[in-house]
Amino acid sequence: MKKIKLINYLLILTVFASSSIFAGGGNRNGTAGATQLLIPVGARGVAMSGASLVGAKGLEALYWNPANLVRSETNTSVLFSQMNYIADIGVTYGAVSANIEGFGALAFSIKSLDIGDIPITTNTNPDGTGQNFTPSFVTVGVTYSRMLSDRISFGVTGNFISERLDLVSTSGIAFNVGIAYQNLANVNGLSFAVVIKNLGPQMKYDGSGLNINAVAPDLTRPQQLYKIDAAPFELPSTLELGFGYEYALNEVNSVQLNGVFQNSNFYGDEYKLGAEYSYDNLFFVRGGYMLLPELDKEANIYGLTAGVGLNYNLGGVGFKFDYAFRQTDIFDDNHVFTVQLGF
């Protein structure tokens, strides 16, 4: 009875929080910052265009739905992922998790962007001063997840965000909360999930890079040092609802179909569709597509997604390798590689 009350409370809290956060969100489209939080990680989820709220389990679920961390097939897992992102940006991600009996599952993760060196330019040296700076964008996360019943799991992630651009920087904290329900309405293979991502206070840049030497327009004062007051910005918060259905064709072949609806405070609604074919839980083929019906066709720079996966046991150690391809306009296509070990 206590678990049922807790589950109902969490569902009500999720709906209330989402309605409060996204009320009037359409008036703030494009105003959110800290967009590094939106860069996906994990080849399996990317291959299905982000339709992974119910299908991803264990470490691969950290970004998509923290509630499914506890559904890991192994007690201890290690994951490493690398993405070739847009504009020659590299995204490196690593995570480790442990399932603790009677407690739940705990995980730690880190995501870093490799942007490279950028030449420093000034008003007097528009072609560059000969010096460079290296931007730093890092997200460190801690996730806790546990089963509330034999079908329902809950998870929460706290992310520490750090951004630095030469002499200015900012930091903040964001939370992801998720609930996953398997075998919905007693239908075997049917799953449902709700996830709210990137809840947290506003962030604001600060640092000596905002200081400038200027002269008053009326020349009544000598040149002085002024500090620009940077405007605060919201985190890119999202509410996602997902359904999934896994159907066994026979003893070795199965198909999983997933769909996700995403509402946000910075963009139009998104509809994500993904599918996965599994042969004997050993070899996988995946595909997906994302729709943005509220926006112009040019607003969606991403096209079809696809990928493959391998799941194999090496002397008692679970080994998973996944690859994903995401078609993009303007920039080079994205390629994601993920390796996971389970003990």
How far are the Cα atoms of 259, 264, 328 from residue 336, in angstroms, in the given order?
A: 21, 25, 13
CA-to-CA distance for 100 and 289, rounded, in angstroms?
A: 36
In the chain, count of helices (H) and strands (E)? Answer: 2, 18
Nearest Cα to 18, choosing from 139, 173, 196? 196
Nearest Cα to 281, choosing from 317, 319, 324, 244? 319
335 token code pair: 């390629």
Dihedral sign computed on CA atoms, order 279, 284, 285, 287:
positive
Length of the chain: 343
CA-to-CA distance for 139 and 144, rounded, in angstroms?
A: 17
CA-to-CA distance for 245 and 259, rounded, in angstroms?
A: 9
What single-letter amino acid sits at 293? P
Please give the pLDDT value at position 271.
97
Q: pLDDT digits over 216-249, tens only? A: 777 677 788 888 899 999 999 999 999 999 999 9
Fold of 2-204+237-342: Porin (2.40.160)
**Which residues are 34's β-sheet partners?**
none
The pLDDT confidence band at residue 267, using thresholds 50, 70 and 90, is confident
Please give the pLDDT value at position 22.
52
Mean pLDDT of 7-12: 49
- What residues does each domain of the chain span? 2-204+237-342
Look at residue 200 and tell me whether its pLDDT is greater than 50: yes
C-alpha distance across the termini of the chain, in Å? 35
Q: Compute how many other C-beta atoms are within 10 angstroms of the C-beta atom of residue 97.
A: 25
CA-to-CA distance for 61 and 50, rounded, in angstroms?
A: 11
Mean pLDDT of 185-197: 96
Look at residue 7 and tell me whether its pLDDT is greater than 60: no
**Burial of 124: CB neighbours in 10 Å, binned 0-12, 13-18, 19+:** exposed
Whose tokens are 């009996």? That residue is: 101
